[in-house]
Structure 1
Amino acid sequence: MNTIPSVNLTDFLSNDPIKKQKFIDEIGHAYENIGFVALKGHFLDTELVDSLYSEIKNFFDLPTEIKEKYEIPGIGGQRGYVSFGKESAKGKKEGDLKEFWHFGQYVDRNSKYAEEYPANVSVKELPKFDEVGKETYKMLEKTAKYVLRSLALHLGLEETYFDNYIKNGNSILRPIHYPPIKTEPKGAERAAAHGDINLITLLMGAQGKGLQVQNHKGEWIDAIAEPDELMINVGDMLSRHSNNKLKSTIHRVTNPPKEMWGTSRYSIPFFMHPISDMKLDVLENCIDENNPKQFDDITSGAFLDERLRELGLKK
Structure 2
Amino acid sequence: MTSIFDSIPTIDVAALRSADPAARRTVVDELGRAARDVGFAQLVGHGIDPSLFDALLTATKTFFALPYDEKMRVYIGRSTNHRGYVPAGEEVFAGATPDHKEAYDLSIDLPSDHPEHLAGNPLLGPNQWPALDGFAEPVDAYYRAAFSLGRILLRAFAEALGEDADLFDRHVTTPPSQLRLIHYPHDPSAADRPGIGAHTDYEVFTLLRPTAPGLEVLNGNGEWIDVPYRDDAIVLNIGDLLEIWTNGRFAATSHRVRKVAEERYSFPLFFNVDYHTRVAPLPQFVDADGPRYDAVVAGEHLFAQTAQSFTYLRRRIEKGHVSLPDGARPLYSLGREAQRSAALS
State TM-score, norm by structure 2. Answer: 0.83
- Whether the 8 Å CA contact 1:156–1:285 is kept in 2: the answer is no
Q: Give me the whole-angstrom Cα distance separating, in 2, the residues matched to 1:51 and 1:160.
A: 32
Question: Structure 1 unaligned runs (5+)?
Answer: none
What is the identity, as a one-letter code, of the residue corresponding to 2:157? L
Q: Give me the whole-angstrom Cα distance separating, in 2, the residues matched to 1:162 and 1:209.
A: 32
Where does residue 104 of structure 1 map in the other structure? 107
Where does residue 282 of structure 1 map in the other structure? 281
What is the identity, as a one-letter code, of the residue corresponding to 1:146? I
Q: Give, in angstroms, the shift of residue 106 of structure 1.
A: 2.5
Q: Give me the whole-angstrom Cα distance separating, in 2, the residues matched to 1:189 and 1:77.
A: 28
Q: Give me the whole-angstrom Cα distance separating, in 2, the residues matched to 1:73 and 1:8.
A: 40
Alignment deviations for residues 187-214 of structure 1 (CA, whole Å, 9 cap, x no partner):
9631111111110100011x53210011
Q: Give, in angstroms, the shift of residue 118 of structure 1.
A: 3.4
Q: Secondary structure at the match of 1:162?
A: helix
Question: Pairwise mapping of residues 1-315 of structure 1 onto structure 2 (< 5 A)?
Answer: 1-73=5-77, 75=79, 78-92=82-96, 94-107=97-110, 112-115=115-118, 116=121, 117-124=124-131, 126-181=132-187, 189-205=194-210, 208-256=212-260, 260=261, 263-289=262-288, 292-313=290-311, 314-315=313-314
- Whether the 8 Å CA contact 2:207–2:235 is kept in 1: the answer is yes
- Whether the 8 Å CA contact 1:97–1:189 is kept in 2: the answer is no
Check 1:113–1:136 CA distance in 2 against 1; reply closer, same or farther (3 A cut).
farther
Tell me whether 97-106 or 155-164 shows the greater mean CA deviation: 155-164
Q: Secondary structure at the match of 1:100?
A: strand
- Whether the 8 Å CA contact 2:71–2:85 is kept in 1: the answer is yes
Alignment deviations for residues 51-104 of structure 1 (CA, whole Å, 9 cap, x no partner):
111110111111111111110426478211011111111233x11111100121
What is the identity, as a one-letter code, of the residue corresponding to 1:142? S
Q: Give, in angstroms, the shift of residue 302 of structure 1.
A: 2.0
Q: Secondary structure at the match of 2:110?
A: coil
State TM-score, norm by structure 1. Answer: 0.90
What is the identity, as a one-letter code, of the residue corresponding to 1:233? N
Question: Structure 2 unaligned runs (5+)?
Answer: 315-345
The number of equivalent residue pairs is: 305
Q: Give, in angstroms, the shift of residue 114 of structure 1.
A: 4.7
Check 1:182–1:228 CA distance in 2 against 1; reply closer, same or farther (3 A cut).
closer
- Whether the 8 Å CA contact 2:110–2:127 is kept in 1: the answer is no
Check 1:107–1:312 CA distance in 2 against 1; reply closer, same or farther (3 A cut).
closer
Q: Give the CA RMSD over aligned residues.
A: 2.0
